[in-house]
Structure 1
């Protein structure tokens, strides 16, 4: 149902290593130890290994409990965007005309269109403030395998930083979207961590191009994520929020088929991460509404999203681009994340 767009360019790799820290041991001496100085020396020479990974997990659990208690008392964590706003996003890549509206038109022309769209959504539901967003495909599925055979490329540092500047200059938040190809989230998300430390930077993950379980290159089949993959992304973002004392992150998860997300009931929510299940398919309004009902409404996770395609929603005969008022009148629950491609 979704169009398989052309691929973007650029590759950077950022490494992140977790290491074990050793500290000198300090223990009490027993009666036997005092009688045997050599034994004492041997014992004292043994380092105590501190597992920093476990320490981080323990800290995350403590932070999660604290976040839960604050959320239960106040309804949400300070600085949370949802549900007090509706996010309206333009999607694509500033270096690619084929991936979406974000790069299809000249910058100022695109931004003028975006401001008009924001106004339309604000008028459709005046009581709910609009939070504008740029949604940039940052790690992008590829038709070519690349040197490591993983069928994905990361945008250059210059492209990512320029897109973030566009967002800041126009009072937007920004989503860095991830298409892993034959790689996986564990090997890709850490590349974005330096950018996610910025409070305006959020994340999207796209199961359509997650091909590890399919064993074929992107575009041959529709990919899939399981709940455990979504949970990995949630935990990854939650850690960044805690370590950097940030407001909650928003995580968008694209979906337009049954198989794109498996075991949705096993997705474990965390107050530090607001999860949007996003109906990402194109077609005539009836098909789009049916997909939203089947995969978003009937399999709820937390918040919901809905995508509108400038080019592909109008392709079917007698079809049209749904208006904000039409979306709000015909979808239940009303989506709090709206994306235009």
Structure 2
């Protein structure tokens, strides 16, 4: 890993302030018409016209200072307060609660699924008692579509009712929640702001899926080709989440980035870390164990960013026989580094 942090437990507020103090300028030039007009107006008791304030620039400067403060806290304490990683291993069930075809989340009836999930959590805790498991649901919330739609973007966002329902499922079962984005022919810049009201909540995190990011491939339908994101897209997402963390005094967000080919993420060395966002590069491919381990080595281990993840497929990993779904013990003993995010689809 490029960076390694220790856990500073407890869901505490970051206490990072965005208040600004505007100081009078100095060293300004004199003698322009506008300056003479202002001076004359002031001398005669008339109102002076205030100089325009670049509020965007001021806000960005505040966030920059906030980032420096976050960096200093992380350097002193090893991690920001409330960080989930690396002090926990996240175990997630993935899918969409309105679809039986996207994953275990939604495929089985709710209570049956959660009974299965309880068993999986116990297996992982038994396989590595040294680190507590953190249960998670990972709901594909903006989903690539087989038709273009009215705006031609090939994606559709879950309804407010669906999102609120999966939030209630997660909280009922003490899970954190990931909202996953498949942008289709749209962009992260256009789609992520739609999720901001939910991401302002401390137990809701984010996933982005390059496989279904096709804005650079005109005319290509989702599933025809594997999409791609660049480091600049990941950095945009990190900055987006970091701002939400700072403005709402939240613990760090976890960001999962799906990957199972080299071209899915380009220029990985340019991805910039921020202590307010914990990046998980997640090996998302299916198949027999040797293929999955090779993909993890080639695209996750040898191109490190921060933390690592690994996906297990209930349907695809076990076919054809005698292939099988890797057990927690197999994952932990056969992968380096040991992934801290495990997802079941």
The answer to whether the Cα contact below 8 Å between 1:134 and 1:172 also exists between their aligned partners in 2 is: yes
SS at match of 1:50: coil
Tell me what 1:155 maps to: 158
Tell me what 1:21 maps to: none
Tell me what 2:9 maps to: none
Tell me what 1:13 maps to: none
Q: In the alignment, is residue 227 of structure 1 matched against residue 231 of structure 2?
A: yes
Structure 1 residue 331: Cα displacement: 0.1
Cα distance in structure 2, aligned partners of 1:106 and 1:75: 41
Aligned length: 317
Which of residues 219, 238, 258 is equivalent to 2:262?
258
Tell me what 2:121 maps to: 118
Closer, same or farther: CA 49–132 of 1 in aligned 2, 3 Å: same
Q: How does 1:1-341 map to 2 (within 5 A)?
A: 33=36, 37=40, 46=49, 48-215=51-218, 216-341=220-345
SS at match of 1:95: coil
The answer to whether the Cα contact below 8 Å between 2:124 and 2:328 also exists between their aligned partners in 1 is: yes
Cα distance in structure 1, aligned partners of 2:137 and 2:153: 26
SS at match of 2:326: coil
Q: CA RMSD in A?
A: 2.4
1:33-84 Cα distance to aligned partner (Å, 9 max, x none): 489847989x966553322222221111111101111101111000000000
Cα distance in structure 2, aligned partners of 1:262 and 1:338: 23
1:86-137 Cα distance to aligned partner (Å, 9 max, x none): 0000000000000000000000000000010000000000010000000000
Cα distance in structure 2, aligned partners of 1:205 and 1:237: 12
Cα distance in structure 2, aligned partners of 1:36 and 1:85: 63
The answer to whether the Cα contact below 8 Å between 2:41 and 2:47 also exists between their aligned partners in 1 is: no
Cα distance in structure 2, aligned partners of 1:319 and 1:310: 12
Cα distance in structure 2, aligned partners of 1:85 and 1:38: 64
Cα distance in structure 1, aligned partners of 2:119 and 2:286: 22
- Gaps in structure 2 of 5+ consecutive residues: 1-23
The answer to whether the Cα contact below 8 Å between 1:33 and 1:40 also exists between their aligned partners in 2 is: no
- Gaps in structure 1 of 5+ consecutive residues: 1-24
Question: TM-score, normalization: structure 1?
Answer: 0.88
Closer, same or farther: CA 34–237 of 1 in aligned 2, 3 Å: closer
Closer, same or farther: CA 34–247 of 1 in aligned 2, 3 Å: closer
Cα distance in structure 2, aligned partners of 1:187 and 1:60: 21
The answer to whether the Cα contact below 8 Å between 2:42 and 2:48 also exists between their aligned partners in 1 is: no
Closer, same or farther: CA 40–194 of 1 in aligned 2, 3 Å: farther
Tell me what 2:19 maps to: none
Structure 1 residue 318: Cα displacement: 2.0
The answer to whether the Cα contact below 8 Å between 1:33 and 1:39 also exists between their aligned partners in 2 is: no
The answer to whether the Cα contact below 8 Å between 1:134 and 1:175 also exists between their aligned partners in 2 is: yes
Cα distance in structure 1, aligned partners of 2:337 and 2:37: 72
Cα distance in structure 2, aligned partners of 1:251 and 1:173: 12
